[in-house]
Every structure is written in structure tokens, then in C-alpha cells.
Chains A and B, each alone.
Chain A
Amino acid sequence: MVTVQQVVFALFALMTVGGAVGVVAARKLFHAALWMILSFFGVAGLYILLEAPFFAALQLFIYIGGVAVLIVMAIMVTRGIMGPKEPVFTYAVGAAGTAFAFLVMLALFIVNVPAWMGSAPTGEVAPDGMRQLGRALVMPSAFLLPFEVASVLLLAVLVGALFIAREKE
């Protein structure tokens, strides 16, 4: 008997994979970017399904609102919306073969682990998970250091990206 969850899952899964396929299949680069956004939405939905609403929100903000927008803007800057068409793919066969092999490898790996074949999630999510996560990020005994490092990284990226892409006078 197919449950609601499974259906919802299938829906979002389709959105994700479909978007991904669209990224690789689209002729025009701009279309590929749009397909990528669709895929991101699908992932966000899956996050909600996985009882991680925070991360769904993060996905929306950062990936879609940030990365995707950035990519679109980059596309526009470099070639215009409908730039000249060029051959899109290269080494298609080899790449497909490799990717497929990779997939097969992972699939084989996955199905061979009994623990992952189980149906139900174990345990319950803590209700105040958010707060705990928040606290963890600023506790020295927890993830303070990675947190600070990440901050530095972002700073570096900020400065670096500005520098790399500056107008040369």
C-alpha cells in the first residue's frame, strides 16, 4: 500500500532529478540555470519531508536565492540571454559511461548495507533541535571553531571574489 509520504517523496524526487536532467539536457545555458533552480526546489521539499525545515529554509535562501541568482547573472554578463549557440556537450559518451558506472557503484554499495534498507527512521527528532544547533555552533566544546573558520572563509571569499573580478584599470 503506497503511503502519502511515499507519494510526496516521489513528487519531490521527480522534481529534483528532473531538474538535474534538465541542467544537462538544456541547449541554452539560461534554460539549464532554470532547470537547476527547479532541482533546488525539489531538494528543499525533500528536506521538509525529512523533518529538517531549517535546512529547507537554508536551501531556499542560499542556493536558490544566492547561488542560482549569481549563476544567472554570470550567464547574462558573459553572453547575453540568448547567446550564440554553440555545441554544448563534449565527450558525451565517455562522461555518460563514467557517470553511469559511478551510479552503479554507489547503488551496489547502498543496497548491500542492511541497516540502510530498513523502512522506518529510527528515533525522534528533538523538538528544540534548532536551539540546540544554534547553541552548538557557538560553544567552544562543540562547533565554535568550525563556525569561526567558516566566517573567515566567507570573508576571504568576499574579498577574493571582489578582487578577482574587478575591473582592471
Chain B
Amino acid sequence: MVPLSWYLLLSALLFAVGLYAVMARRNLIGMLMGLELMLNAINLTLIAFWRYLHPYNLGFQALVIFVLVVAASEAAVGLALILAVFRLRETEHVDELNLLRW
């Protein structure tokens, strides 16, 4: 059998990689991809917990569904925004998107 901890460590790793992608990538779409990785890691964690600790609790499943929904929505909106920004600024380059700089 696979111990729960393996799943958890895996998702932790996945999350860390996604975090790195978000922080290190210069491209906006690249950042978004990292974000999706992180969300996947979260869902994985949830399912693992559900299966191993609370198989009869539907709450976990519901939560996972909703996380999924939100992730998808957020991806859609985010991409729409990126498109808008790109049209405006002709760049996806994060470094140049610093209007909020002091």
C-alpha cells in the first residue's frame, strides 16, 4: 500500500515547483501555469486526505469540485486579462508591467 505521506510529500513537491514557477517565470502565462500546478497540488492533497482519512465525508469531494471550478474560472479570467494587457502594452513581459511601481 502507498502511505498517505507519500501522496502528501508528492503534492508538497508539486506545490513547491508551482511556486517556483510563479516566482521565477518572467512570462505572465508562465506564471499562470505555475499557478495551475499549485492548484493541482491542492486538489491532490484533498483527495488523498479524503481517501485515507475520511472516505465517507462528502465535504472533501464537494470542496475539490469547487476548487476545480474556481481554478478554471480564474484561469479563464486571468488569460482574458493577459490578453487585454498584451494588447495595451504590446508585451507579456512582467518586468515591463510595473505601472504600480512607486
Contact = CB atoms under 8 A, between A and B. Distances in A.
A32 B18 CA distance: 12
Given A23-B37, A63-B40, A88 B26 contact: yes
Contact of B17 (A9, A21, A118, A161): A21
Nearest to A100: B16
Contacts of B48: 50
A142 interface: yes
Interface string A130-148: 0011001100001100100
Is chain B's binding surface mostly helix, strand, loop or mixed?
Answer: helix
Contacts of B82: 74, 78
A41 to B, nearest CB: 11
Given A36-B36, A43-B44, A133 B24 contact: no
B25 A88 contact: yes
**Chain A interface secondary structure, helix, strand, loop or mixed?**
helix
Contacts of B10: 13, 16-17, 46
Interface in A43-57: 43, 46-47, 49-52, 55
Counting chain A residues whose Cβ lies within 8 A of the other chain, the interface size class is 35 or more
B86 A78 contact: yes
Nearest to A103: B16
B4 interface: yes
Contacts of B93: 86
Contact of A71 (B17, B55, B64, B79): B79
B84 A164 contact: yes
Nearest to A101: B16
A29 B51 contact: no
Contacts of B16: 99-100, 102-103, 106
Contact of A122 (B5, B19, B55, B71): B55
Contacts of A29: 27, 29-30
A80 B8 CA distance: 38
Given A3-B1, A52-B51, A63-B40, A90 B26 contact: yes
Contact of A90 (B3, B12, B25, B61): B25
30 contacts: A20-B14, A39-B40, A50-B48, A62-B68, A70-B75, A71-B36, A79-B92, A88-B27, A89-B26, A90-B26, A95-B20, A96-B20, A96-B24, A98-B19, A100-B16, A102-B16, A102-B19, A103-B15, A106-B12, A111-B5, A115-B53, A122-B52, A126-B56, A129-B61, A146-B62, A154-B73, A162-B80, A165-B80, A165-B81, A165-B83
